[in-house]
Chain A
Amino acid sequence: MNSNSNETVKLSSSSSELELELELDLDRPNLEDYLPSGSSIQEPRGKLRLRDLLDISPTLTEAAGAIIDDSFTRCFKSNSPEPWNWNVYLFPIWCCGVVIRYFILFPVRVLILTIGWIIFLSSYIPVHFLLKGHDKLRKKIERSLVELICSFFVASWTGVVKYHGPRPSMRPKQVFVANHTSMIDFIILEQMTAFAVIMQKHPGWVGLLQSTILESVGCIWFNRSEAKDREIVAKKLRDHVQGAENNPLLIFPEGTCVNNHYTVMFKKGAFELGCTVCPVAIKYNKIFVDAFWNSRKQSFTMHLLQLMTSWAVVCDVWYLEPQNIKPGETAIEFAERVRDIISVRAGLKKVPWDGYLKYSRPSPKHREQKQQSFSESMLRRLEEK
């Protein structure tokens, strides 16, 4: 990083890549509307004096505030259940629990999952290859089989899932959006209805599943880092929602896993398809295990193992009232409105951040806004007498 920020700004604005990012930024809601700084800085008035010029304390206070606590980091903080094994008579009970969870529940669950996979594969492979001519029938069976294996997955963590509201139906021109905590969101929703989902391409065995089995329910994969993929995905999305035969489309517009206490900004892609948007709110009960998948800290396999060695995964799923874009509403306003609906239902706090900031730095635009208001105020006050 360059120490001279003026130069940094100039450099970055000349690079075309960042310009693209700036353009994209214009589409997003104004970050300054949310940030505490906006409200705390009162317009200083009167003639500019040395002591005013030297006073950089508001900016410093903001920086210190960010170092001490910030709403972005909070979104991705794992909140494990409180340990309760801290004294002599609780400890033996906790130990019993560990023995039951690891040596009884876990093997039983592995067995359930294995049986599930045997049933699934022994029917899926013949159906997939023998029924080549009967596409409609094949799709229908494959759909039920995917739902079945997902139910086995949910059973393998003793999933206690309560579904509220009407079940999704298959019809064209609708898209489901849900808040995202872990990849298990997808499994939980999939066991009720075979959704086609838009997901980040994963490595390892998850990636293998993605490209073989989930492909058959119409799922679409992309690479977060590849800009080219964005257009291809957008086109696939548009094609998918037009077909009446296709499985309903499920999108996690946050684009990244959040810890189920907050919602980060929704990507607008799902909201500019011209479809009815059906919000789905998912809230996990953290009584036994934290369902947040912190992909930086653990692999998906470890995450699944953690779930499979816990007592149960408790969660509520709400299928909410379908929403349409209002006349005069932009895709972003629409996305924010749907985010409101989901956050309120699931009791999540909204933060103004783009979840992709996990992988990149904020664009210089936000800093430039602060610099601009500072400069304007300086120049204006210099002229005052």
Chain B
Amino acid sequence: MGSASSVLTQYDIEEVQEHCSNLFSQQEIVSLYQRFCQLDRNAKGFISADEFLSVPEFAMNPLSQRLLKMVDGLNFKDFVAFLSAFSGKATTQQKIEFIFKVYDSDNNGKVSFNDILEVLRDLSGSFMSDEQREKVLRQVLQEAGYSKESYLMLDDFIKIQYVLSHDFLNCSLYCLFKKSVNYIDAKVGSQLGSFQVGTKNGG
């Protein structure tokens, strides 16, 4: 009758912590492990693309196909490492590095005009034409002092210093964990209030 968490020993947890440069606490790793086991339905040690897509909230994300390439078949250690950019302890630079990796789909250490264009295509779908996308990109690149032929390196990404959204900068695992649930709580909160009144009346 052992629960999933008891399978992880102190050594395992420390090993995983090292692997993700200590960005997660032990408790967080235990929670992530429970989630990992839940997604890894037949306990094969990794999560397949199909299992990721069985989470509708993930499947609906415009970048899901791109992210799938990064997460498909990850074992637990790499799963945690992948998520480490979302830890509250991760530095802005680590977070930007993560975004850089999302753009750099061929892992050659530089982001080309086409790399950015592809992400834009994922994000806008059929609601922007290829010409529109190219026009937008060319214009903003030019204004920032780059051309269509120039490659963006990680340093450029850090130099551009875009304002990361508040959510991403301040997100800790805990708030990601609770986000979906709290939201539902807020929605039914008013009803639960009336439920309590109802039971009082009902005796």
Contact = CB atoms under 8 A, between A and B. Distances in A.
User: Do chains A and B stick together as partners?
Assistant: yes
Interface string B58-102: 111111111111010000000000010110000000010011001
A4 B62 CA distance: 11
Contacts of A56: 63, 99, 102, 119, 123
Interface in B32-61: 32, 35, 38-39, 41, 49, 52-61
Contact of B171 (A3, A54, A61, A372): A61
Interface string A360-376: 01100011101110111
Contacts of A51: 144, 160-163
Contact of B56 (A2, A49, A72, A85): A72
Contacts of A4: 65, 118, 121
Interface residues of chain A: helix, strand, loop or mixed (majority): helix
Contacts of B160: 50-51, 54
B179 interface: yes
B62 A376 contact: no
Contact residues on A (Cβ < 8 Å of other chain), bracket: 35 or more
Contacts of A345: 195
Interface in A56-101: 56-74, 77, 80, 83, 85
Interface residues of B, number: 84
A382 B53 CA distance: 34
Contacts of B137: 53
Given A9-B126, A67-B55, A67-B83, A57 B165 contact: yes
B183 interface: yes
Contact of B83 (A5, A64, A367): A64
Interface string B108-142: 00000000101111111111100010001101110
B191 A343 contact: yes
Given A6-B126, A69-B179, A374-B124, A50 B55 contact: no
Contacts of B139: 382
Contact of B168 (A61, A70, A351, A366): A61
Contacts of B55: 66-67, 70, 72-73
B136 A69 contact: no
B54 to A, nearest CB: 8
Contact of A66 (B57, B191, B194): B57
A61 B67 CA distance: 12
Interface in A316-336: none
Interface stretch (A33-41, A225-233, A303-311): A33-41
Nearest to B171: A61
A70 B181 CA distance: 8
A319 to B, nearest CB: 14
A262 B186 CA distance: 14
B192 interface: yes
Contacts of A372: 125, 127
B170 to A, nearest CB: 10
Contact of A55 (B62, B63, B64, B165): B165
A329 to B, nearest CB: 18
A364 B32 CA distance: 29
Contact of B184 (A9, A349, A374): A349
B78 to A, nearest CB: 13
B173 A371 contact: no
B176 A64 contact: yes
B165 A58 contact: yes
A353 B128 contact: no
A261 to B, nearest CB: 11
B61 A63 contact: yes
Interface in A14-59: 34-36, 39-40, 48-59
Interface of A: 1-6, 8-10, 34-36, 39-40, 48-74, 77, 80, 83, 85, 296, 340, 343-345, 347, 349-351, 353, 357, 361-362, 366-368, 370-372, 374-376, 378-379, 382
The 10 A-B residue pairs with the shortest CB-CB distance, nearest first, are A51-B162, A371-B125, A57-B168, A66-B57, A375-B127, A50-B144, A83-B1, A66-B58, A375-B124, A36-B183
Given A35-B183, A49-B144, 14 more contacts: A3-B65, A50-B140, A58-B167, A59-B62, A59-B123, A62-B57, A66-B55, A68-B177, A72-B57, A344-B198, A361-B53, A361-B59, A367-B125, A371-B124
17 contacts: A5-B122, A34-B184, A34-B187, A39-B183, A53-B137, A55-B99, A61-B86, A63-B63, A64-B85, A67-B52, A69-B180, A344-B192, A349-B185, A361-B59, A368-B127, A376-B127, A378-B128
